[in-house]
Structure 1
Amino acid sequence: MSSEAFDLTEPELTADDLLVLDDPHFGPETTAVVTGAASGIGQATAVALAANGISVIGADIDEEGLEETIDIAADVDASGTVHPVTTDLTDDADVETMVEAAAEHGELRYVANIAGMQHIASIPEFPMEKYDLLLDVMLRAPFLTAKHAMPHIRETDDGAGAIGNMSSVHGHYATQDKPAYITAKHGLEGLTRAIAAEGEGTLRGFSVSVGYVLTPLMVNQIEDTAEERGISKREVVEDVMLGQARTKEMMTPAEVANLFVFGFSSHGKHLNGGDLLWDGGYTTTYE
């Protein structure tokens, strides 16, 4: 494996990294909610949607990170805008305010539920307060966001829109020491299908599942996994993270963001209740 695969620095996002599509709903009158918009995949998705001309409500608890997202959107000359809304996803009032902010800025059509977190521990050792926090952020908040957003999407002239949920290979199978994360991601797949079942064809639900992505969350996870399993960081990357994949490199946040852009677009109109599994072979092959 090349040394480049072990460069654990998140790549700088540029305009050339972003998928930009010609779509009738991709314009400033359309709004999108993106959670976790202050870093990683959420930040890249907020920028990618803004690059497609959309007015983006970037939601996160990290105000400084949201300002960075606005700066990156400007750096790539995004034709749309990012509006920061400081949001605690464990606070029901904050979640409602986030959705209402999107409705006030234009026609709410898209939601990207991306915010996530991780805690590495076995089931017997897992702190229940951490379990509750992970499930609140990664499953309850997306449900509540959909609850508030779906009526607004239905109120648009054609009722067309989509709610995209950030799943994972861990929404398809399980590995050791991530029980809360795995539980949340499997639940998110169910929520995606429930949205599709109630969306009457025009309001779609879909999920995005990827393997390991070069984000700050991933870098922290490498350190935690190394400590939990008593192995080196290099062994975590080579054997645990990339061991089962056929594509021997980690995805970038921009590559994941582009999947949300495609899924929201009219090109994704038959993506409903389904999952964009972009995992390099993690869940579909084995030695």
Structure 2
Amino acid sequence: MTELSVPPIEDEAIQRFDDDRFTRDRVCVVTGGASGIGRAVSLVAASNGLSVLATDIDETGLEETMDHADRLEVADAITPFVSDLTSDTDLESIAIAARELGSVTFLANVAGLQHVSPLESFQIEAYDTLQSVMVRAPFVLTRELWGDLEEHDGCVGNMASVHGHYVTSDKVAYNVAKFAIRGLTQSIAAEGDGDVRSFSVSTGYVKTPLVTDQIPETAAQRGLEVEEVIEDVMLGQARTDEMMTPLEVAHLFLFGFSRLAKHCNGSDLLADDGMTLTYD
């Protein structure tokens, strides 16, 4: 039976990247910081020496992130900030709060939503919400922080997906958003002109609440057992029998932010276990 739960991140499992910009006077803004990948990016960024503004609409989840930060002894480096990414006022407030912490150098647009439904009956409200959170908000935040990013040799990391390379049915809003976020990533690289760098991260299925919460519903829809959904639907085309962990994805973000990735500009860091590039 595949284990869906993810053990807490331990200090010894966190990769440290050698970068002289990873200091407490540099700020990394992370959206979706209340759980999953956003939480992992917040903890790994703080453990690598950065100050972090972790933002999410889920106040309870942010409190849990801070509990993990306290356990890892980096709570002093993370500032939780409750915000709604569909609100322009809140997006402006995120930028203001980030500047108060120091030199805003990194932006990790991680927050994501999912809604599964056939296109013909896909709710317009759900479609609009997904686009607002996963496409519009990353654009607005990048725009709000552009001057800071230019001044501080900054970098924007965007959470994409294998669904920004190819699509599956019943996820039209998610598919469109992930193709769009890759377009935003490349636009940032084009207009950053070497002063603002960007990259996206495309993974297969990751052990996050966004993914695992879908499994029972998918099993019921397709008349499958939970294990069959994981092995055949989620991992069927991948050359692995294990989903990624949020920590593994967080390491890709910190690599992308670091000097090790200085030539990754507009690039997509594809880590999908061969899902989109191989076939039987």
Q: TM-score, normalised by structure 1?
A: 0.95
CA drift of 1:202 comes to: 2.7
Which position in structure 1 is the counterpart of 2:78?
82
Q: Which consecutive aligned stretches of 4+ in structure 1 deviate over 4 angstroms post-superposition?
A: none
Which position in structure 1 is the counterpart of 2:98?
102
1:50-93 deviations in Å (ceiling 9; x for gaps)? 00111100000011111211221221233861101101000011
Tell me, in whole angstroms, the C-alpha distance in 1 between the residues paired with 2:261 and 2:89.
Answer: 32
2:131 is the counterpart of 1:135: yes
Letter in 2 for 1:228: Q
CA drift of 1:197 comes to: 0.3
Tell me, in whole angstroms, the C-alpha distance in 2 between the residues paired with 1:16 and 1:267.
Answer: 21
Letter in 1 for 2:102: G
Tell me, in whole angstroms, the C-alpha distance in 1 between the residues paired with 2:29 and 2:179.
Answer: 22
Map 1:122-161 → 2, pairs under 5 A? 122-156=118-152, 160-161=153-154
What's the RMSD between the two structures over aligned residues?
1.2
- Aligned counterpart for 2:30 among listed residues 34, 37, 50: 34
CA drift of 1:132 comes to: 0.5
Tell me, in whole angstroms, the C-alpha distance in 1 between the residues paired with 2:258 and 2:158.
Answer: 15
Tell me, in whole angstroms, the C-alpha distance in 2 between the residues paired with 1:17 and 1:136.
Answer: 34
Contact 1:195 1:273 in 2 (8 A): yes
Which position in structure 1 is the counterpart of 2:115?
119
Which position in structure 2 is the counterpart of 1:174?
167
Which position in structure 1 is the counterpart of 2:21?
25
Letter in 1 for 2:7: P
Tell me, in whole angstroms, the C-alpha distance in 1 between the residues paired with 2:81 and 2:75.
Answer: 20
Map 1:233-244 → 2, pairs under 5 A? 233-244=226-237
CA drift of 1:125 comes to: 1.6
Q: Which runs of 5+ in 1 are unaligned?
A: none
Contact 2:66 2:75 in 1 (8 A): no
CA drift of 1:24 comes to: 1.1
Q: TM-score, normalised by structure 2?
A: 0.97
Could you say if the C-alpha distance between residues 79 and 61 of structure 1 is closer, same or farther in structure 2, counting changes exceeding 3 Å?
closer
2:220 is the counterpart of 1:227: yes
Tell me, in whole angstroms, the C-alpha distance in 2 between the residues paired with 1:11 and 1:200.
Answer: 41
Q: How many residues align?
A: 280
Identity percentage over the alignment?
50
Tell me, in whole angstroms, the C-alpha distance in 2 between the residues paired with 1:167 and 1:224.
Answer: 23
2:42 is the counterpart of 1:46: yes
Letter in 2 for 1:286: Y
- Aligned counterpart for 2:274 among listed residues 258, 278, 281: 281
Tell me, in whole angstroms, the C-alpha distance in 2 between the residues paired with 1:205 and 1:138.
Answer: 16
Q: Which runs of 5+ in 2 are unaligned?
A: none
Letter in 2 for 1:87: S
2:189 is the counterpart of 1:196: yes
Contact 1:52 1:80 in 2 (8 A): no
